[in-house]
Structure 1
């Protein structure tokens, strides 16, 4: 009963805007079922080799880096409302163009274009969360948003597996419809609220002198850059769940698309069930630094066990540990970024954090597929576990330093 009360309390105090941002994200990510199946699509439908597939997926990462950088810059310049709106409405139609590109160069181009535009959304969305959430609810607001992402990731791959078994073209059409719907809902809800918020800030600015931000640029903030480096190492290892791991399930474990979709969907569904509870408990009993370390170790175990066995029960054990680790790492990374930034440069900080994750979309498929091709998947999973532990300790010590320097905040 006490656990249930803690779970219910996790949702208290979250603003209507935080809930709507999460609903928009849910619709958006429910449609984003293409990415986990892009590797399978290129090998099974287009006849690409594993290395060619890894090369194309790396262009998704290059686009993500550019999109994250531009998203941070544009958000600080034009505001998160305009950036999110344009990103959703421009990226949606591109999904309809993907089936018309069947060469390696063509796929690399269209995937690069799509990711460049869609990833502009990420820093703007993070800024919107910090904008509408109360400071004491910041991590839970990020967690609510991630819960929506994972519910979408639970629905999307499961549906994507079914649709891809019929026709891959259904994947692209549904992505277009879902992201367009997310854009319409976002604009209808936030158009007036954004205007009211800007007017309120303008009124306050007439009587209050803004506090000068100590860290004018995240690119000159050395502790934050080191923290972002370890975020990148974690992401490079962890986000094999999006590209290399589905290839492993298909080529080594011999699962079909529907089974792969269900396994990935299980991960997302588990996160939806327990994320808010685990985040709330972590905030009560652990420091942010300790939470990041423990989460990284859980992810490390989840990957490393696949190097020794890949029976169904082992895969479920692995996905369970990865899911718990993801819960304990990703929302708290966003919290550290948010409390490190202030005022007018918040978009730039979120952009740097986005770049750290986007680098994984370049390096992970390129490096992961080559290690698997030359040394085997078992070697890949064992070394992934080792580097996740390294990332965990790096996150632990850099977060302790950042929190110490911000000891005047209310965060632990």
Structure 2
């Protein structure tokens, strides 16, 4: 029985090209280092003494930088290619992460956050296009899942290590580790991954690419992703504060709970995706399921003050995330074949960047004025609305296929 489970698990990784594995390794090193992000709200309140409202506005600049970086990354990917864009993003952001610890004023930190996220999020549309370039169409969803596996394994180790770094040498250590790991990832990209090994030349060239802004079903999909991002990103800003202020967890305990998310994804996401792919349901169906589970995670936290609800909530979010992100990525990549891939994947990345702009700030403002319970109910409502938009998208796609 155990042997069969092991074979099933290892078979879920079969058929992926070496370049996809190398891309996953680079992403793992990069994401393991970005441990300052989950602790950013705690750093700004505890170490810098900013109010929740001020932190909300600082995180808005986080989102603005993310939008700018995603847009710029998409443009550069279409102009100079995914390889050079990823390298520039990793190397430049490594220096900016180190410098981010030095600004003291509100506007200095806002500017620093904006510049860091602009450089760092140039990587996002480029890596999505790289997945498409280095993988066969039938392996795209699993290739995306492998990259997500690397991201979440990095996030699994990162917060736990980050909590220990804070205890040992303070918050400044996080910025140094972030910068060094980004630099290492950039060097490995230049040394190990070569653009000539991509499958782009073997693909059919789209001589009349469609403008992404004219693809109405895709814009509907992006709107749903903005709402999903809005609720998902609470787990990296307001939820850690909920853990600390309401349940009195330490930084290390918060890091372990966030790390639980990445650990579950590391163990089960790839087999789960392969299992779901065999079922033959549409990508949008699975995205709806994933977002619904994410909404239920907030319901769990509202049910009682029992600490176990935090674990249940994180588990529901994790399963929802495991389903929603790979299939939404896959849908976006498939749709990107209609036009310039960089622009399509930039818009997909920008969806979550917009969530950063409004999600963190609105969450902080809602909590400050109306409390955590009301805020979690708002997230549940947004999850339901996002699911309804995707149901509408399914009808539009059926009509498009029949035309």
TM superposition score category, shorter chain reference: over 0.9
Which residues of 2 match residues 137-152 of structure 1 at below 5 A?
A: 137-152=139-154
1:261 and 2:261 matched: no
Residue 307 of structure 1 aligns with which residue? Answer: 302
Once structures 1 and 2 are overlaid, which stretch shifts more, 115-124 or 252-261? 252-261
TM-score under structure 1 normalisation? 0.93
1:50 and 1:369 in contact (8 A); partners too: yes
Question: Does the C-alpha gap of structure 1 residues 400 and 159 become closer, same or farther in structure 2, counting only changes over 3 Å?
Answer: farther
2:142 and 2:273 in contact (8 A); partners too: yes
Alignment coverage as a number of residue pairs: 399
1:340 and 1:406 in contact (8 A); partners too: no
- Cα offset, 1:350, TM superposition: 0.1
1:336 and 1:399 in contact (8 A); partners too: no
1:244 and 1:369 in contact (8 A); partners too: yes
Name the SS of the counterpart of 1:258 in structure 2: helix
Inter-partner Cα distance in structure 1 for 2:150 and 2:305: 29
1:88 and 1:180 in contact (8 A); partners too: yes
Q: 368, 372, 375: which is aligned to 1:373?
A: 368
Inter-partner Cα distance in structure 2 for 1:381 and 1:194: 44
RMSD: 1.9
Question: Does the C-alpha gap of structure 1 residues 196 and 153 become closer, same or farther in structure 2, counting only changes over 3 Å?
Answer: closer
1:340 and 2:335 matched: yes
Which residues of 2 match residues 202-217 of structure 1 at below 5 A?
A: 210-213=205-208, 216-217=210-211
2:25 and 2:150 in contact (8 A); partners too: yes
1:246 and 1:260 in contact (8 A); partners too: yes
Gaps of 5+ in 1: none
1:58 and 2:60 matched: yes
Inter-partner Cα distance in structure 2 for 1:35 and 1:252: 21
2:206 and 2:339 in contact (8 A); partners too: no
Q: 392, 397, 400: which is aligned to 1:397?
A: 392
Question: Does the C-alpha gap of structure 1 residues 51 and 237 become closer, same or farther in structure 2, counting only changes over 3 Å?
Answer: same
Residue 239 of structure 1 aligns with which residue? Answer: 233
- Cα offset, 1:399, TM superposition: 4.5
TM-score under structure 2 normalisation? 0.95
Gaps of 5+ in 2: none
Q: 75, 78, 81: which is aligned to 2:77?
A: 75
- Cα offset, 1:311, TM superposition: 2.3
